[in-house]
C-alpha cells in the first residue's frame, strides 16, 4: 500500500506464466485478471476475464481500436525497433567492455610477471621473452622498480 488511494504490486511475470494453468481456474482477484490480460492471448480466456472486469473490456476495446490505426501501429513498431536497437547497443557495449577488461588484465598480468622476474634478477631479454613485452616497456618497469 503506497497511499490510501494507490497500491503498487511487483509481479514476476515468468512465474505467473508458469502457473497460468492453475490461474485459469481462479482469476478471482482483480490483479489476477489484469495479469491474465497482460500475459495470455487466448481468446476464450480473455473473453472470460473481460466479462468479469469492465475495465479490461474497455482496455481490449481501446487496443482493438489502436491496432486498426496504421499510424499507431507504425509508431508502436518504431518504438519496438528502438527498444531492440538500444538492447543491442547495450549488449555490444558490454561485450566491448569485457574484451577491453580482459586485454587490460592480460597487460597488467604481464607487467606483474615482469616485475617479479626483474626482482629475481632476470635479464631484460629473458623478461621480454617470458612476457612478450617490448624492450622499452621492460626498461620502464625496471626503472620504476629501482626508483621505489
Is position 134 within any domain? no
Report, as an integer, the average pLDDT of 4-31: 74
Radius of gyration of the chain (CA): 31
C-alpha angle 93-94-99 in degrees, rounded to nearest 5: 95
Provide the domain count of the chain.
1
Report, as an integer, the average pLDDT of 64-78: 84
Report, as an integer, the average pLDDT of 75-99: 93
- Its domain, for residue 17, covers 1-68
How many Cβ atoms from other residues are within 10 Å of residue 49's Cβ? 20
Sign of the Cα torsion 39, 40, 45, 47 reads: positive
Is position 146 within any domain? no
pLDDT score for 21? 60
**Higher pLDDT residue, 117 or 68?**
117
Say whether pLDDT at 52 is over 90: no
CB-count burial class (<10 Å; 0-12, 13-18, 19+) for 27: buried
Is position 63 within any domain? yes
- What is the chain's mean pLDDT, rounded? 85
Is position 105 within any domain? no
Is position 14 within any domain? yes
Amino acid at each position: 500500500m503506497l497511499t490510501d488511494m494507490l497500491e503498487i504490486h511487483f509481479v514476476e511475470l515468468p512465474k505467473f506464466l508458469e502457473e497460468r494453468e492453475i490461474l485459469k481456474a481462479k482469476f478471482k482477484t482483480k490483479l489476477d485478471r489484469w495479469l491474465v490480460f497482460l500475459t495470455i492471448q487466448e481468446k476464450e480466456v480473455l473473453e472470460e476475464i473481460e466479462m468479469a472486469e469492465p475495465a479490461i473490456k474497455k482496455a481490449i476495446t481501446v487496443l482493438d481500436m489502436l491496432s486498426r490505426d496504421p499510424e499507431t501501429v507504425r509508431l508502436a513498431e518504431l518504438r519496438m525497433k528502438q527498444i531492440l536497437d538500444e538492447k543491442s547497443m547495450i549488449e555490444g557495449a558490454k561485450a566491448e567492455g569485457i574484451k577491453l577488461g580482459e586485454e587490460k588484465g592480460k597487460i597488467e598480468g604481464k607487467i606483474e610477471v615482469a616485475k617479479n622476474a626483474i626482482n629475481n634478477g632476470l635479464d631484460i631479454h629473458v623478461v621480454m621473452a617470458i612476457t612478450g613485452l617490448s624492450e622499452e616497456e621492460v626498461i620502464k618497469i625496471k626503472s620504476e622498480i629501482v626508483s621505489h
